[in-house]
Chains A and B, each alone.
Chain A
């Protein structure tokens, strides 16, 4: 949390999609940070301790995909909320850390901001919807 605004980190390798995701985060009134892959995301999480939520893609180049990243974050920064989006229509729910939300692409911006609002309000029931 930064100056009362929740901080959301967008992790996405496609530039246009990342721009769109940052735009929707800003439009929802949060502060937005961005990373192109898991390594960049981890560097950001390490350098600042105020990230409240990570919104990540699944298929990304680099050492970790979004699913591995989600588990890594849940392990190392347990309070950080997670939203995962993928081009795959269905992902085994068990492959994601508990309490994270899954959306298939293309996602609806409103559905994402709704999930962000619920997760940031601490409502665990926001997890695991398609």
Chain B
């Protein structure tokens, strides 16, 4: 280590600490001459380490460090009238893009009040800032893209719903109209889920608000007289994954359509209750009506598409279907017990 040509000499250990600093560091005299510069400083700012000692700050490199603002701030720091904390400055060099620097400077406090020296730490934050900016832009782009996709999905579902309703209004056959309206209801069921998902931050769906919206939509399209028929939703605070919720929603759609179609003939009053609750991985979904009850024997209706959908989805969710007499009316319950699912050695529905 060459001896600094100042009247005061520094301990070799002090100089060694400065030179080996990971963070670009300058050790300066009161009049801004270099006592030591860290190897990291010379490397980062392309300055010859052999040509730094005893040079004035403004003579380093091609003179790019002779920034009047920086010099005046460092002088003020040396005189004790200011302290540089995270001062931001642009370093402009010929043939280089400007670099954004954060400068921290303070006087060295080693008890030698007559010998003022400055420790100047210089951090190049250009890449970090650019990265942060890029990340911000990506996040913003992603949010915009997601919103655009959601708009497109909603519009596509609207096209399907519009076509189905136009067909339903045109067909002559009551039966065909019923099928088209059911198809429309199934589309709306998936749309209700899509709406829930678009406001969900973690991809999980709150079952209560989903079922509420779903049943509101089913009621609006299928119940002509809300005084006569109503749908009530009772759900705990469960939230489920999107894949599972789409199945649950379609099951509710089919069971509610079925009850509205068959349980209340001849202008009968009534209520349908949709209930869902879960405990750990176990859950129970039930749709109960207080209508005329299920006809049996010869009068039992043939299983339609609706019951096929319910059976297939319940099986897929590893749920057991039970149909019981609700006296009056019918209760359809689908329950999933994690233990039973594991015993059956089937892949998990999740």
Residues of A bordering B, CB below 8 Å: 14, 16-17, 19-21, 23-24, 27, 59, 86-90, 104-111, 114
Contacts and interface: CB of A to CB of B under 8 A. Distances in A.
Interface of B: 147, 150-155, 157-163, 165-166, 169, 187-188, 191, 195, 198-199, 217, 220-221
A105 B220 contact: no
A114 B155 contact: no
B43 to A, nearest CB: 52
Contacts, number: 78
Given A20-B166, A21-B162, 7 more contacts: A16-B162, A20-B163, A59-B155, A90-B199, A106-B188, A108-B220, A110-B221
A104 B154 contact: yes
A15 to B, nearest CB: 9
A89 B159 CA distance: 16
Contact of A110 (B155, B187, B220): B220
B158 A111 contact: no
A89 B199 contact: yes
Contacts of B151: 59, 86-88
A23 B166 contact: yes
3 shortest interchain CB distances as A-B pairs: A20-B162, A87-B151, A87-B154
A111 B195 CA distance: 17
A105 B221 contact: no
B199 A14 contact: no
A110 to B, nearest CB: 5
Contacts of B187: 106
A114 B220 CA distance: 9
A105 B163 contact: no
Given A87-B150, A106-B188, A106-B191, A23 B158 contact: no
Contacts of A88: 147, 150-151, 154
B148 to A, nearest CB: 9
B220 A111 contact: yes
Of A16, A86, A108, the most chain B CB neighbours within 10 A belong to A108
Nearest to A107: B158
Contacts of A109: 161, 165, 221
